[in-house]
């Protein structure tokens, strides 16, 4: 049994009741168990197995209970009976949940590392006492309870580490911006047409000439023609596959609660949350309200602004006027001009002037360009569409610094 549990990555569900689950009145054994894996916790929260009286059977019946957790109690405290406008009610529920879930997170999961350390110490102390008194029933029960407590906190800690790893993965992905833009440019250039033959069969070169040739071709192709259109022969249409009346009526039917629930529960609750901060797990807990809100959407055909909106919050700005600087870039009420892009060029020049005072080798200058200057450029390029004049000026700066160690370099480079 132990090998089966270990190889299958299983664990026994928390239980209470008699220890032995099977007997023939001569031999007592524990063969009936409730085994679960990690995917159980993705669907259910806290569960417990209760062993009941076996009555006339030689096996002990098991009753799986799903008691309300703190999260379920928090959700149930804000959900009320359905109103005339489920969409508005859904908004109220989400706003109430935000503050209460934040409080629950602070109270229960604020410092998981400290809780994990404390639970491990308590479990170790009980186990040390059990080594001295292995037959002590209260100690055995206490050790079992602390073991489940430690497992729950450890599971939450692992989930937190997974989220932190996801954030680190996103940060590492941001470093691939240079490769992304280079690949995008490569695909864009691959689609360019520089040569084409015109209607006379002559070869035309140049982007402007190719554009003019294509416009002339499609103007001739799509010009107005005096064509006589005939009506569709419905007898021909009926020869092919067509929908029956029952199928047509089925397409017009409203979505049922079962279909909506199936769509919601098909989204794993470990997926990233939406702009409002809620993932599919929150929606699954308030299933009836979500079903009613979806039905109202299909009935009215519109979504309230507060559901589809995405808020951009800028903190730490007081009595500021445009243009202003936020996270290292300029924010204006209109499109940036070439003069406003000068701040990026000035930052790069300031870095180069600072490095020019030091004796840095060619290889180290190349590393500074790739790791500092090019990242500054990529950060701005990921937000704005930089003008060609600015791009060429930045390219000239880091080319000059690479070959001469200064901003200005008048000699021709050794390698073209």
List the chain domain ranges: 2-67, 324-404
pLDDT band, very low/low/confident/very high, at 278 (cuts 50, 70, 90): confident
- CA–CA distance, 347 with 329 (Å, rounded to integer): 11
pLDDT band, very low/low/confident/very high, at 173 (cuts 50, 70, 90): low
Task: Return the higher-pLDDT residue of 346 and 42.
Answer: 346
- The 3-state secondary structure of 346-363 reads HHHHHHHHHHHCCCCCHH
Residue with tokens 């009610």: 89
The Cα-based distances of 394 to 160, 187, 262, 383, 384 in angstroms read 41, 24, 54, 17, 15
Query: Left (φ > 0), alpha (ψ -120 to 50) or beta: where does 319 sit?
Result: left
- CA–CA distance, 280 with 196 (Å, rounded to integer): 52
What is the chain's mean pLDDT, rounded? 77
Average pLDDT of span 214-236:
76
Tens-place pLDDT, residues 116-169: 888 888 888 888 888 888 788 888 888 888 888 888 777 777 776 766 666 566
What does the buried/exposed string (b/e) look like for 172-206 if buried means 16 or more CB atoms within 10 Å of the residue's CB? eeeeebeeeeeeeeeeeeeeeeeebeeeeeeebee
Cα 116 off chain centre by: 27
- CA–CA distance, 120 with 377 (Å, rounded to integer): 49
Which three-class secondary structure state does DSSP give residue 50?
Answer: strand
Identify the pLDDT of residue 65: 83
Tens-place pLDDT, residues 88-113: 888 888 888 888 888 877 776 667 77
Residue 268's nearest CA partner among 24, 55, 39 is 39
């Amino acid at each position: 049994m132990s090998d089966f549990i270990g190889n299958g990555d299983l664990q026994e569900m928390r239980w209470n009741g008699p220890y032995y689950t099977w007997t023939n009145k001569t031999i007592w054994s524990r063969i009936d168990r409730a085994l679960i894996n990690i995917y159980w916790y993705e669907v259910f929260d806290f569960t417990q197995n209760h062993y009941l009286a076996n009555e006339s059977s030689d096996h002990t019946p098991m009753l799986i209970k799903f008691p309300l957790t703190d999260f379920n109690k928090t959700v149930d405290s804000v959900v009320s009976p359905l109103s005339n406008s489920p969409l508005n009610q859904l908004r109220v529920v989400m706003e109430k949940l935000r503050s209460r879930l934040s409080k629950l997170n602070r109270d229960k999961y604020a410092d998981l590392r400290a809780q994990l350390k404390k639970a491990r110490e308590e479990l170790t102390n009980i186990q040390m006492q059990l080594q001295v008194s292995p037959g002590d029933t209260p100690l055995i029960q206490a050790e079992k309870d602390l073991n489940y407590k430690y497992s729950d906190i450890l599971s939450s800690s692992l989930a937190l580490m997974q989220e932190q790893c996801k954030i680190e993965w996103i940060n590492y992905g941001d470093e691939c911006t240079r490769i992304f833009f280079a690949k995008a440019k490569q695909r864009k250039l691959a689609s360019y047409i520089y040569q084409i033959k015109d209607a006379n069969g002559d070869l035309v070169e140049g982007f402007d000439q190719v554009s003019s040739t294509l416009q002339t071709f499609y103007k001739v192709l799509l010009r107005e023609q005096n064509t006589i259109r005939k009506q569709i022969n419905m007898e021909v249409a009926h020869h092919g596959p067509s929908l029956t009346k029952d199928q047509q009526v089925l397409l017009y039917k409203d979505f049922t609660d079962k279909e909506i629930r199936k769509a919601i529960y098909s989204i794993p609750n470990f997926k990233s949350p939406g702009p409002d901060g809620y993932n599919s797990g929150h929606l699954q807990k308030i299933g009836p309200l979500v079903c009613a809100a979806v039905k109202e959407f299909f009935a009215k055909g519109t979504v309230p602004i507060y559901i589809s909106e995405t808020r951009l919050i800028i903190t730490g700005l007081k009595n500021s006027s445009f243009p202003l600087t936020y996270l290292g870039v300029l924010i204006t009420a209109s499109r940036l001009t070439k003069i406003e892009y000068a701040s990026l060029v000035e930052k790069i020049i300031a870095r180069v002037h600072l490095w020019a005072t030091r004796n840095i080798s060619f290889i180290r200058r190349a590393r500074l360009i790739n790791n500092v200057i090019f990242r500054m450029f990529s950060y701005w390029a990921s937000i704005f569409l930089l003008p060609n004049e600015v791009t060429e000026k930045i390219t000239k700066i880091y080319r000059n610094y690479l070959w001469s160690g200064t901003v200005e370099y008048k000699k021709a480079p050794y390698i073209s």
